[in-house]
Amino acid sequence: MVLKALNSPHRAAPVLQKQEFNWIRDYIYKQAGIVLNDTKQAMVVGRLEKRLRHHGLASYSDYFKLFSKPGFENETVMAIDLLTTNETYFFRESKHFDFLAEQIVPQHTPGKPFRVWSAASSSGEEAYTLAMVLAEHLKSGQWNITGTDISTRILDKAKRGLYPSNAAEKIPLTLLRKYCLKGTGEYDGFLLIDPALRRHVSFVYANLITALPDLGLFDVIFLRNVMIYFDMPTKQRLLDRISQYLRPGGYFVISHSESLNGMKTELQTVQSSIYRKPLSR
């Protein structure tokens, strides 16, 4: 029989103090433009508490001090990753993909490359959904998807294209069979995006509120479920910056829970959550 010592030390979980929450809120706003309101304190604790335990730290203040210490650059990146990664899944807000297939693709001039940017692509489900749609409806094969995100950790997952089998719930069965491989052996319970499809998709690190890499121009930009985390000045700067990467006549897609109301832009409303850049005169 194994007896557990009655006097085994048990350290209580650190409590996130108000001034500590204010510090990380200001830090994330400066680094990523994301606004954490008071309701997000539990989220901060849920995502960072393991990092404190990993380093054996007794307070969030001690943990935040690591951000400025030489040699802890990876920890800073990890903290930003944890606090800026959002939910995503295949064929989320599916009407946007219907519009892409039925309205945008038929307008495309044959023989020209077709480029789509999945901004804030997270773990890649949106980018691979776009790839399935284009593979079905743009038979020329002259198309590519660029996915970007601020989280290096989540981008590594996206590049692998490996997901739990239950992630296939929203993928139409015909597309699932055509573009996904069923895992076996150590990958039992997972699905892998077909390598032939993955060759059309690339993932690049980008912080949307700072200088962006040279990505070129796109026919369509998906920026969904991102601006809801920003205040109005940050939204305006983001829109100004990203719309420069849209070709004249290109389409800009945001989530159904967002709008460009109150923002200055040349983009014209096509329908709710879908906008178009005017053609050059």
Spell out the domain ranges in the chain: 18-84, 95-276
Per-residue CA distances from 2 to 29, 205, 242 (Å): 50, 50, 61
Residue 3 confidence (pLDDT): 39
Per-residue confidence (pLDDT) for residue 11, from 0 to 100: 63
* Cβ atoms 55, 63 nearer than 8 A: yes
State the pLDDT at residue 228.
86
pLDDT band for 4, please (50, 70, 90 cuts): very low
Which amino acid is residue 46, in one-letter code? Answer: G
> Between residues 44 and 141, which one has the greater pLDDT?
44
How high does pLDDT run on average in the chain?
91
Question: Class for domain 18-84, per CATH?
Answer: mainly alpha
Residue 263, helix vs strand vs coil = coil
Predicted TM-score (pTM) of the model is: 0.85
62: annotated active-site residue: no
Say if 18-84 and 95-276 have the same CATH topology.
Answer: no
User: CA–CA distance from 124 to each of 43, 146, 215, 276 (Å)?
Assistant: 22, 10, 18, 24
- What pLDDT digit, counting tens, does each position of 196-240 carry? 999 999 999 999 988 899 999 999 999 999 888 889 999 999 999
Q: Which residue has the higher pLDDT, 110 or 132?
A: 132
**Would you call 149 a catalytic residue per the annotation?**
yes
Find the mean pLDDT for residues 27-35.
88
Nearest by Cα to 117 from 27, 251, 8: 251
Q: Under a CB-based contact definition with an 8 Å cutoff, are residues 180 and 171 in contact?
A: yes
Query: Quick check: 151 pLDDT over 90?
Result: no
Mean pLDDT of 102-109: 95
Which one is catalytic: 25, 115, 149, 198?
A: 149
Measure the CA–CA gap between 126 and 29, rounded to whole angstroms.
25
Q: How far apart are CA 60 and CA 19, in angstroms?
A: 10
What is the mean predicted confidence (pLDDT) over 50-66? 94
**In terms of residues, how long is the chain?**
281
Closest CA to 79 of 124, 30, 44, 120: 44
Cβ contacts of residue 107 below 8 Å, gap of 6+? Answer: none
- 95-276: CATH superfamily: Vaccinia Virus protein VP39 (3.40.50.150)
Digit-coded pLDDT (tens) for 5-16: 334 455 678 899
Region 176-188: what's the mean pLDDT?
A: 92
